[in-house]
Amino acid sequence: MVERDDDDEVDLGISLETVATIVDHARALQAKATGEAEQISEGEDSEAAMLREHPEDVTEDALRAFINDLNEDEQAALIALAWVGRGDYDASEWEEALRLARERGEGRDTAEYLLNMDMLGDLLAEGVAAFGLSIEEVDR
Protein backbone atom coordinates (compact mmCIF):
# COMPACT_ATOMS: atom_id res chain seq x y z
CA MET A 1 0.00 0.00 0.00
CA VAL A 2 1.21 3.47 -0.81
CA GLU A 3 1.76 5.89 2.06
CA ARG A 4 0.00 9.19 1.43
CA ASP A 5 0.25 12.56 3.09
CA ASP A 6 -3.07 14.34 3.47
CA ASP A 7 -1.75 16.95 1.03
CA ASP A 8 -0.72 14.27 -1.48
CA GLU A 9 -4.17 13.58 -2.90
CA VAL A 10 -4.10 11.17 -5.85
CA ASP A 11 -6.28 11.90 -8.87
CA LEU A 12 -7.69 8.61 -10.08
CA GLY A 13 -9.58 10.25 -12.93
CA ILE A 14 -12.86 8.89 -11.61
CA SER A 15 -14.81 9.64 -8.45
CA LEU A 16 -14.71 7.18 -5.58
CA GLU A 17 -18.51 7.31 -5.50
CA THR A 18 -18.64 6.06 -9.09
CA VAL A 19 -16.15 3.28 -8.36
CA ALA A 20 -18.09 2.33 -5.20
CA THR A 21 -21.32 2.09 -7.21
CA ILE A 22 -19.66 -0.21 -9.73
CA VAL A 23 -18.07 -2.30 -6.95
CA ASP A 24 -21.44 -2.72 -5.23
CA HIS A 25 -23.21 -3.71 -8.44
CA ALA A 26 -20.42 -6.05 -9.56
CA ARG A 27 -20.38 -7.79 -6.17
CA ALA A 28 -24.18 -8.02 -6.13
CA LEU A 29 -24.18 -9.54 -9.62
CA GLN A 30 -21.55 -12.05 -8.57
CA ALA A 31 -23.53 -12.98 -5.47
CA LYS A 32 -26.71 -13.20 -7.51
CA ALA A 33 -25.00 -15.45 -10.06
CA THR A 34 -23.56 -17.75 -7.42
CA GLY A 35 -26.60 -17.69 -5.13
CA GLU A 36 -24.50 -16.38 -2.25
CA ALA A 37 -26.34 -13.14 -1.45
CA GLU A 38 -26.68 -14.20 2.16
CA GLN A 39 -22.89 -14.50 2.47
CA ILE A 40 -22.02 -10.93 1.50
CA SER A 41 -21.87 -7.91 3.76
CA GLU A 42 -25.12 -7.17 5.58
CA GLY A 43 -24.72 -3.41 6.20
CA GLU A 44 -27.56 -1.10 5.14
CA ASP A 45 -25.48 0.03 2.12
CA SER A 46 -24.23 -3.45 1.35
CA GLU A 47 -24.54 -5.51 -1.78
CA ALA A 48 -26.99 -7.84 -0.02
CA ALA A 49 -29.18 -4.90 0.96
CA MET A 50 -29.10 -3.72 -2.64
CA LEU A 51 -30.29 -7.14 -3.81
CA ARG A 52 -33.12 -7.21 -1.28
CA GLU A 53 -34.31 -3.65 -1.96
CA HIS A 54 -33.83 -3.39 -5.73
CA PRO A 55 -33.34 -6.85 -7.27
CA GLU A 56 -34.56 -5.64 -10.67
CA ASP A 57 -31.95 -2.83 -10.71
CA VAL A 58 -29.02 -5.19 -10.17
CA THR A 59 -28.61 -6.54 -13.66
CA GLU A 60 -25.62 -6.94 -15.92
CA ASP A 61 -27.33 -4.74 -18.51
CA ALA A 62 -27.74 -1.93 -15.96
CA LEU A 63 -24.10 -2.15 -14.93
CA ARG A 64 -22.99 -2.33 -18.58
CA ALA A 65 -25.03 0.81 -19.38
CA PHE A 66 -23.61 2.62 -16.33
CA ILE A 67 -20.02 1.86 -17.41
CA ASN A 68 -20.71 2.73 -21.04
CA ASP A 69 -22.15 6.10 -19.96
CA LEU A 70 -18.83 7.07 -18.36
CA ASN A 71 -16.42 9.20 -20.36
CA GLU A 72 -13.29 7.67 -21.90
CA ASP A 73 -11.02 8.88 -19.08
CA GLU A 74 -13.27 7.34 -16.43
CA GLN A 75 -13.45 4.07 -18.35
CA ALA A 76 -9.65 3.99 -18.66
CA ALA A 77 -9.35 4.67 -14.92
CA LEU A 78 -11.63 1.71 -14.17
CA ILE A 79 -9.50 -0.60 -16.29
CA ALA A 80 -6.30 0.69 -14.69
CA LEU A 81 -7.78 0.27 -11.19
CA ALA A 82 -8.74 -3.31 -12.00
CA TRP A 83 -5.19 -3.96 -13.21
CA VAL A 84 -3.73 -2.45 -10.03
CA GLY A 85 -6.16 -4.54 -7.96
CA ARG A 86 -5.13 -7.67 -9.87
CA GLY A 87 -1.46 -6.91 -9.23
CA ASP A 88 -0.47 -6.18 -12.83
CA TYR A 89 0.67 -2.71 -11.71
CA ASP A 90 1.17 -1.03 -8.37
CA ALA A 91 0.14 2.45 -7.34
CA SER A 92 3.54 3.90 -8.26
CA GLU A 93 2.92 2.77 -11.87
CA TRP A 94 -0.49 4.46 -12.08
CA GLU A 95 0.32 6.80 -14.95
CA GLU A 96 1.66 3.93 -17.05
CA ALA A 97 -1.37 1.75 -16.29
CA LEU A 98 -3.71 4.61 -17.14
CA ARG A 99 -1.89 5.37 -20.41
CA LEU A 100 -1.98 1.72 -21.46
CA ALA A 101 -5.66 1.40 -20.49
CA ARG A 102 -6.46 4.39 -22.70
CA GLU A 103 -4.50 2.93 -25.62
CA ARG A 104 -5.94 -0.56 -25.34
CA GLY A 105 -9.46 0.65 -24.63
CA GLU A 106 -9.72 2.90 -27.64
CA GLY A 107 -12.58 1.71 -29.85
CA ARG A 108 -13.37 -1.25 -27.60
CA ASP A 109 -16.27 -2.07 -25.31
CA THR A 110 -14.93 -1.27 -21.85
CA ALA A 111 -17.98 -2.68 -20.07
CA GLU A 112 -17.59 -5.99 -21.90
CA TYR A 113 -13.90 -6.17 -20.97
CA LEU A 114 -14.51 -5.35 -17.30
CA LEU A 115 -17.56 -7.57 -16.86
CA ASN A 116 -15.55 -10.53 -18.12
CA MET A 117 -13.09 -10.12 -15.23
CA ASP A 118 -13.60 -12.55 -12.38
CA MET A 119 -14.22 -10.77 -9.09
CA LEU A 120 -14.43 -7.32 -10.72
CA GLY A 121 -15.79 -5.66 -7.58
CA ASP A 122 -12.95 -6.99 -5.46
CA LEU A 123 -10.34 -6.04 -8.06
CA LEU A 124 -11.60 -2.45 -8.15
CA ALA A 125 -11.74 -2.26 -4.34
CA GLU A 126 -8.18 -3.59 -4.12
CA GLY A 127 -7.07 -1.11 -6.77
CA VAL A 128 -8.49 1.76 -4.74
CA ALA A 129 -6.92 0.33 -1.56
CA ALA A 130 -3.49 0.39 -3.23
CA PHE A 131 -3.75 4.19 -3.04
CA GLY A 132 -4.57 4.14 0.67
CA LEU A 133 -8.27 4.76 -0.01
CA SER A 134 -11.26 2.65 0.94
CA ILE A 135 -14.44 1.92 -0.98
CA GLU A 136 -16.17 1.00 2.27
CA GLU A 137 -15.76 4.55 3.58
CA VAL A 138 -17.50 6.14 0.57
CA ASP A 139 -20.98 7.55 1.20
CA ARG A 140 -23.59 6.02 -1.06
User: pLDDT, tens digit, for every residue of 65-95?
Assistant: 999 999 999 999 999 999 999 999 999 999 9
**137 lies in a domain?**
no
Domains: count for the chain: 1
Judge whether 138 lies within some domain: no
Tell me the one-letter amino acid at 108.
R
Domain assignment of residue 26, given as a range? 16-132
Query: How confident is the model over 8-50, as pLDDT tens digits?
Result: 567 899 999 999 999 999 998 888 776 654 444 445 554 445 5
| Least trusted range by pLDDT, from 17-21, 33-37, 99-103, 105-109 | 33-37
In a domain, 6, yes or no: no
> Residue 51's pLDDT band (boundaries 50, 70, 90)?
very low
What was the pLDDT predicted at 59?
Answer: 86
How far apart, in whole angstroms, are the C-alpha atoms of residue 38 and residue 51? 10
In a domain, 116, yes or no: yes
Say how far apart CA 64 and CA 38 lie, in whole Å.
24
Residue 57 falls inside a structural domain: yes
In a domain, 8, yes or no: no
Secondary structure E strands in 23-138: none
